[in-house]
Chains A and B, each alone.
Chain A
Amino acid sequence: MEPSSATPPARPPAAGQPKSAALNWIIIGLVVIGGLVYLAYSRKAAAPNTANGAVNGNSAAILEAANVTGRAAPTWTLRDVNGKPVSLSQFAGHPVVMDFWATWCGPCQIELPWWQQFQKQYASRGLVIVGVSEDLNLNDVRKYLAKTPIDYQIVWDGGSNTLQNSYGTPFGLPTTLFIDRQGKITERVTGLEGKPELDKALHAIL
């Protein structure tokens, strides 16, 4: 009995098949080249001017959701839980991690102790970790921090996701951006990752 299979049996070579195979490859090549040309054009057309992008709660250079890596990180000014203004620009020259999180986000809470550990581990190499809270209510953040102190910088996105959206971050927490010393985003990670993977991404900016 022949074994059953979802794959049809290979056909015997037909006369003239080499020519048709060559034609197929030419068509595939043309499609690939066309696709690359289209991609290059569309990326150029959609690229925002992020060199002087400023985020101050309501205005921002909006980065494309699917393509933030390699872009200059738009600067921003937000307030910490005590109301003190904090700007990305004050960390110029440092490797920076921006971790978007919320008190209601279970996966985020797994990562918070990791960031604390990384902050200590790489402090001598200038690492700055900023937790950007996406909570709707600042008091929720304050209460959380009173129970679970975090020793790196925490800022509040004003309950509006404005900063998160300006960084092209899709709806989903945690989302982490890795920014090198030149202010360029090297990687964005959405969803709970393993600690070794985050450490690897960190090493790329240290």
Chain B
Amino acid sequence: MLLTAGAQTAGVAHIAGPVVTARAQATAIAALSITVEPGFHIQSNHPKLDYIIPSAITITPADGISATKVTWPPTVDRKFSFSPQPLAVFEGQIKVPVTLTTGAAGAHVLHGTFRYQACNDQLCRPPVTEPFTLAVHVR
């Protein structure tokens, strides 16, 4: 299976995928890379406070291929000038392994979205939903 994620352009965080090969009717791990611009953070996938918009990755199943699990890495607890309590956030570069179940052999494209909301110590940016694609080549 060949797996790549399309390049992202907008916002202060970017998502990209590796090239992965796998067999048909099997599982494969696609380790997506998220890069957050220095000085900014994006929110946890399970934020501690209810008003915070969680980070999320969704991948639409296609051609018998589907994402069965998105494994976010541990967050970092950070204290900011605006938060009395530390917030659980992602910063810098993180890897997000996504478990895929494959179908029949062939070249396929999955479409996904990466939703996040970024802040720094002084301000917040509006939530962003970035589309991305996964090129999947199943042998």
Contact surface of A with B, Cβ cutoff 8 Å: 102-110, 134, 136, 144, 161, 171-174, 190-192
Q: How far is the CB of B115 from chain A (nearest CB, A)?
A: 11
Q: How many A-B residue pairs have CB under 8 A?
A: 52
Q: Please determine whether A106 and B117 come into contact, CB atoms closer than 8 angstroms.
A: no
| Chain A min CB distance to B88 (Å) | 13
Chain B binding surface SS class: loop
A134 nearest CB neighbor, chain B only: B126
Asked whether B119 is an interface residue with its Cβ less than 8 Å from the other chain, the reply is yes
B81 at the interface (CB under 8 A from A): yes
CB contact list, B88-132 vs A, under 8 A: 117, 119, 121-127
Other CB < 8 Å A-B pairs besides A107-B124, A191-B122, A192-B82, 7 of them? A102-B124, A106-B82, A107-B123, A110-B81, A171-B126, A173-B126, A191-B123
Q: Is B52 engaged at the interface, CB distance under 8 Å to the other chain?
A: yes
Closest A residue to B84 by beta carbon equals: A110
C-alpha spacing A108/B121, complex, angstroms: 11
Known contacts A104-B117, A106-B80, A106-B83; decide if A192 and B123 are in contact (CB<8 Å): yes
Number of interface residues of B (CB under 8 A): 17
Residues of B within 8 A of A173 (CB): 123-126
Q: How far is the CA of A106 from the CA of B43 in the complex (A)?
A: 11
Query: Is there contact, CB below 8 Å, between B123 and A172?
Result: yes
Asked whether A103 lies within 8 Å of B51 as measured between CB atoms, the reply is yes
A103 cross-chain contacts in B, Cβ below 8 A: 51
Cβ–Cβ < 8 Å partners of B126 in chain A: 102, 134, 161, 171, 173
CA distance in complex: A173, B123 (Å): 5
- Report A-chain residues with C-beta under 8 Å of the C-beta of B82: 106-107, 109-110, 192
Asked if B53 lies at the interface with its beta carbon under 8 angstroms from chain A, I say: yes
Task: Identify the closest chain B residue to A174 (Cβ).
Answer: B123
Kindly state whether residue B20 has any CB partner on chain A within 8 Å. no
Considering the chains assembled together, what is the distance between the CA atoms of A192 and B82 in angstroms?
8
